[in-house]
Homo-oligomer: A and B are copies of this chain.
Amino acid sequence: MTTSTVQALPKFLETIRKIKSYEEALGVLYWDLRTGAPRGGMEARSEAIGHLSADMFRYQTSAELGEQLAELEQPEAFAQLSEIEQKLVKETRKEYDRNAKIPAKLYQEYVVLASQSESKWEECKDNDDFASFEPYLDKIISYQQQFIDLWGAAKGTRYDTLLDLYEPGLTTAELDRVFGGLRDQLVPLASAIAASPHQPDTSFLQQKFAIAGQKELGNYILKQMGFSFDKGRVDESVHPFATGLNPGDVRITTHYYEEDIASALFSSLHEGGHALYEQNIRAELTGTTLSGGTSMGIHESQSRFWENVVGRSKPFWHRYYRELQSFFPGQLNVSAEDFYRAINVVEPSLIRIEADELTYNLHIIIRYEIEKLIFNEGVKAADLPAIWNEKYKQYLGIEPPNNAQGVLQDVHWSGGLFGYFPSYSLGNMYAAQFAATMEQEIEGFWNLVEEGNLLPIKQWLSEKIYQHGKLKTPSELIQGVTGKPLDSGYLVRYLTDKYSDIYKL
């Protein structure tokens, strides 16, 4: 090992550990805010978060870190780094450049604007008042356009730069390919389902299920999945979420509704999937910024795999329906098969977060197509309501009666989250593709599910996906694990098979 490597490496690793410590502390503060922090303390807490975030950003963009990176990137030094260290240098360089390219003053203006814009959105959504929100949205878009200019649209279209924030390496060209295939096949499938005379009966779900039983049920299912309560905890919050503070402390939340047993049940499976990923990242990566999911899409593939591919499957309910009944004695008198059909009902709807497993993807594709129009074609906020409504009519056959249930429904754009929506459908596609490989590689895959023997599945996922954290890119993972690049055909086949059975198509 040369002197140059020896000199910069420990300092670099210490800087990374410090950044990770700030990330963890901020993670606890955000978790706390969302799980019951007294509202009286919000103002002071926001200030604390502001101070810590500013200091973390200072570490992330410091001249010292720049020098450490430059030294470690020297070919002679770089060659002597371990694989993990090399990856860490590359990842850190990417983040460093991304952060450093935006002038501090511009970023501060943007943070203030984004916060105002989110508040304005909330108000405008409540009042169905798109006109008042429009100037904010245009400003947010204009800042994002400036960021793209500063970051540089390296390859492909301007929108690629935003996609890369959440799904590193993914291009608009590739998304056009996979989303195009998905859209073309799912639109007719949804129509066929709507036309089927064999609609599931969901009336028996319209009853009250005691919260205490729902809690026990959720925790029971989490244990079955392999969620470790020594390395995590479950709390309640308005909107369910998962947060991996470190692999030994991964927290999820859910929200129990007495009138809706499915909500907390499937959110536990969903957030539990995110949590399994984070709990099983290899210990070697702890204290580095590689200890996390490799992309939003891959992360979402794990939540959706457990929620939908496993959690809404027939074998799963052949095994767990009796258990479910036992948590609510005398309340569920239909068959396992009827229950399975009821939790898999498909129906075009206006609101993304209430959508079923199939039409959900159409909601995403609509947003993706609109985001491309904004960043690649220069479409302005004023045009969005009409475009939105037209696409809903075209893909889902329904039209929003107002903007509150249309273009104003999601918080994302108000806070500048462009390029993020595709992750959700990427998750569905990755999940279906991983599942197809599992069916081949794990002997008797569906029998295991039917026996309630889920740990071999968790084990397989840990080995193939979870343990690697950010060591592999999304495309390396999907190619390495399944032997093929991302292909929407797996999701189409999965949905077609599943719903052909349920709706007797």
Contact = CB atoms under 8 A, between A and B. Distances in A.
- Copy number in the complex reads 2
Contact of A287 (B17, B42, B44, B230): B44
A321 interface: no
Given A41-B245, A245-B41, A248-B43, A48 B21 contact: yes
A41 B287 contact: no
A29 interface: yes
Interface residues of A, number: 41
A18 interface: yes
A495 interface: no
Interface string A210-222: 0000000000000
A40 B228 contact: yes
Contact of A52 (B20, B21, B43): B21
A229 interface: yes
A81 interface: no
A51 interface: yes
Contacts of A37: 233, 249
Given A47-B17, A233-B36, A25 B41 contact: no
Interface string A28-39: 110010001111
Interface string A43-60: 111011011100100000
B24 A45 contact: yes
A454 to B, nearest CB: 20
Contacts of A232: 38, 40
Contact of A38 (B29, B36, B248): B248
Given A32-B32, A55-B55, A24 B40 contact: no
Given A28-B28, A38-B248, A44-B245, 11 more contacts: A21-B52, A22-B52, A24-B45, A36-B233, A38-B229, A38-B231, A38-B232, A38-B250, A40-B247, A44-B286, A52-B52
Interface of A: 17-18, 20-22, 24-25, 28-29, 32, 36-45, 47-48, 50-52, 55, 228-233, 245-251, 286-287
